[in-house]
Amino acid sequence: MSALLEVRALRKRFGGVVATDDVTIDVREGEIHALIGPNGAGKTSLIAQLSGSLLPDSGTIRFAGDDVTRLVQHARVARGLARSYQITRLFRSFTALDNLAIAVQARSGSSLRFWRPVVRETALADAARALLDEVGLGARGDVPAAALSHGEQRALEVGLALATRPRLLLLDEPMAGTGPEESARMVELIERVRAKTTVLLVEHDVDAVFRLADRVSVLVNGRVIASGEPDAVRDDPEVIGAYLGDEVHR
Amino acid sequence: MAAPVPPAAQSAAPPRRAAGVAGVALLAVAAIVYPFAMKALDAEFYVSVASRMMVYAIAATSLNLILGYGGLVSFGHAAFLGIGAYTVGILITEGVTSGWIGIPAAMLLAALVAVPIGAVSLRTRGVYFIMITLAFAQMLFYLVNSIKAYGGDEGLNIRVRSAFGFGLNLKDDLTFYFVVLVCLAGTLLLVHRIMGSRFGRIVLAMRDDDVRAEALGVPTFRYKLVLFVIGAALGGLAGALMVNQQNYVNPNVLHWTQSGTLMVMVILGGVGSLWGGVVGAFALLVLEEVVAAYTVHWQFWVGWVLLAIVLYAPKGLVGLLRRAAEREGAAK
């Protein structure tokens, strides 16, 4: 059976730096696939190419059987390929609830409606309210996004991506900058999300990765040096040498 | 944009909403009574002064849609005024005097020209967007300068103003006043409804973070282009009225200084607020009149006012008024 996302021989260079070097990855339907690697390994560049904000120099990206290598970002979202951001990107002047309502509306298409007041569209608000509960911000709907705590903003960040009803969710370091308690809550959220969508998780928090992931790929200097079951990857000598070191072998 | 953005989706509390409706009704009554009062006072000159201000208010509001709500700092908006003005001017010169044809044609042509300009400019952002819109406007400025058949750099006089039938002719100052008033009211209503609609919410979201909007599946380029074209069409409307006001149009309508004046109006009045264009246009033109009575160097003093606004009231005069009203309300 073919995978939901098939990345084949993807390459991207910026001047003399090879950000993505012959990357081949499969993400199977229903799994949480983690992508780990040291800083500067090219994780974020890879996410940008998968989501469509950056075009690769060569190689192909197939999603749900179709070649999407050259497809623009918003068209990929419409097919169910959505991403979250490592550095929180919210609509800061809107409330948490309205952030989600915007995302729901964006997904429903047909937003070229110029006359009818959007505040009267209860369907949007209802869907946004449900998402708000799902990401654990049920009581914080009326708070402007800019005024939420960092952990809450991270949760809303994931909520925005979820609002697009993705088949594959690209999560770019959802735990970035969060404390232990907030991280634990994020792990719970991702556990809940997996019932509905496939996840490609880029994360630094190795403990969280090995707790959540069905499979793990390790990216070093733009190359995938290992890919497979968490236990196998953890024991791979090349991975230990290049990245994990004694971080998990205490 | 560096300026702090007001909460875009304030829940309209009922009392505030009622106060808003009452305020608009009061303003409408005042606007209707005004010309008759001026006539009674034998000060008819001030009727056409008010008309001129309202035409500028339409122009500034149309720019505010793009610059204020859209966060797209277009420095070439005068081009669309110029297209509107020349469309009506040329049609009248060729014998087509009906306003029912002239004004829609002006808006349509401004919108059509905005499509390629927007399609190119909106691929850039920041300073590049400012410069490229400016460049397009200057290209049109030189183009109009070179069209000798319609006056070239000397401009184009029109013998008659647009006619609307039913005995309505813009030659009459009172009629012109009310036509402009209706156009202004229509523009404000349109902007209000657009910004409260689905489309408007996406526009405001893009102003906050257009990269994120794209990542949620919004074809952001298309949205910006539609917004740009609507703003241009309304600019064309202002231009069409302007040529009727002055019986004359020359290439300076398209000059970049005119774009600058419109930007000053928007910043003075309130970037991204419904009444910002109106308040800014009135304030600048009044300021100009008052200061010019004392000194020929009025621009120097107006500059200081603008500086004060930018530094101390980034939401413009509308923001100041709103804050004052809220303080009043809190004191009660």
Residue A106, in any domain of the structure:
no
pLDDT, tens digit, 9 for 90 and up, residues A63-115: 999 999 999 999 999 999 999 999 889 999 999 999 999 999 998 876 678 88
Residue A117, in any domain of the structure:
no
Whether A143 and chain B come into contact, CB under 8 Å, resolves to no
Asked whether B239 and B55 are in contact (CB, 8 A), the reply is: no
ipTM value for the complex: 0.89
| Alpha carbon separation from A83 to A59, A111, B181 (Å, rounded) | 21, 21, 48
Residue A116, in any domain of the structure:
no
Asked whether A43 and A202 are in contact (CB, 8 A), the reply is: yes
**A56: domain CATH number?**
3.40.50.300
B256-261, long-range: CB < 8 A, 24+ apart? B256/B75, B256/B76, B256/B78, B256/B134, B256/B137, B256/B138, B256/B141, B258/B78, B258/B81, B258/B82, B259/B74, B259/B75, B259/B76, B259/B77, B259/B78, B259/B79, B259/B134, B259/B137, B260/B75
Asked whether A97 and A125 are in contact (CB, 8 A), the reply is: yes
Whether A134 and chain B come into contact, CB under 8 Å, resolves to no
For range B100-118, the mean pLDDT: 96
Which of the two residues, B18 and B189, has the higher pLDDT score?
B189
Residue A179, in any domain of the structure:
yes
Q: How many residue contacts between A and B have a Cβ separation below 8 Å?
A: 116
C-alpha span between B35 and B29 (Å, rounded): 11
The 8-class DSSP code of residue A93 comes to T
pLDDT, tens digit, 9 for 90 and up, residues A209-218: 888 999 999 9
Q: CA angle, corner B247, sides to B242 and B252, nearest 5?
A: 60
Region of residue A80 (left: phi > 0; alpha: psi -120 to 50; beta: else): left
Q: Which domain holds residue A25?
A: 5-90+166-244
Tally of CB atoms within 10 A around A248: 15
| Alpha carbon separation from B219 to A107, A154, B121, B214 (Å, rounded) | 11, 24, 16, 6
Residue B73 pLDDT > 90, yes or no?
yes
For range B29-47, the mean pLDDT: 92
C-alpha span between B39 and B175 (Å, rounded): 13
Instruction: Please name the amino acid found at residue B40.
Output: A
Q: Supply the pLDDT for residue A250.
A: 40
Count how many domains chain A has.
1
Interface test with A, best of B216, B222, B230, B273 (most A CBs within 10 A): B216
B20-26, long-range: CB < 8 A, 24+ apart? none
Whether A150 and chain B come into contact, CB under 8 Å, resolves to no
Whether A87 and chain B come into contact, CB under 8 Å, resolves to no
Residue B4 pLDDT > 50, yes or no?
no
Whether A186 and chain B come into contact, CB under 8 Å, resolves to no
Tally of CB atoms within 10 A around B96: 14
Residue A223, in any domain of the structure:
yes
Residue A82, in any domain of the structure:
yes
Whether B57 and chain A come into contact, CB under 8 Å, resolves to no
Q: What percent of chain A has pLDDT over 70?
A: 96
pLDDT band at A246 (very low <50, low <70, confident <90, very high): low
Residue A12, in any domain of the structure:
yes
Whether A121 and chain B come into contact, CB under 8 Å, resolves to yes
The closest CB to that of B201, out of A95, A102, A160, belongs to: A102
C-alpha span between A146 and B223 (Å, rounded): 24
Mean pLDDT for all residues in chain A: 90
Q: Supply the pLDDT for residue A67.
A: 95
Least confident of B16-20, B107-111, B128-132: B16-20
Record the pTM. 0.91
Q: Supply the pLDDT for residue A31.
A: 94
Residue A202, in any domain of the structure:
yes
pLDDT, tens digit, 9 for 90 and up, residues B277-318: 999 999 999 998 888 888 888 888 888 888 998 898 888 999
What chain B residue is nearest to A166 in terms of C-alpha separation? Answer: B216
Element (H, E) at B332: none
For B90-108, the DSSP string reads HHHHTT--BHHHHHHHHHH
Q: Supply the pLDDT for residue B14.
A: 60
Q: How far is A162 from chain B (nearest CA, A)?
A: 9
Q: How far is B198 from chain A (nearest CA, A)?
A: 5
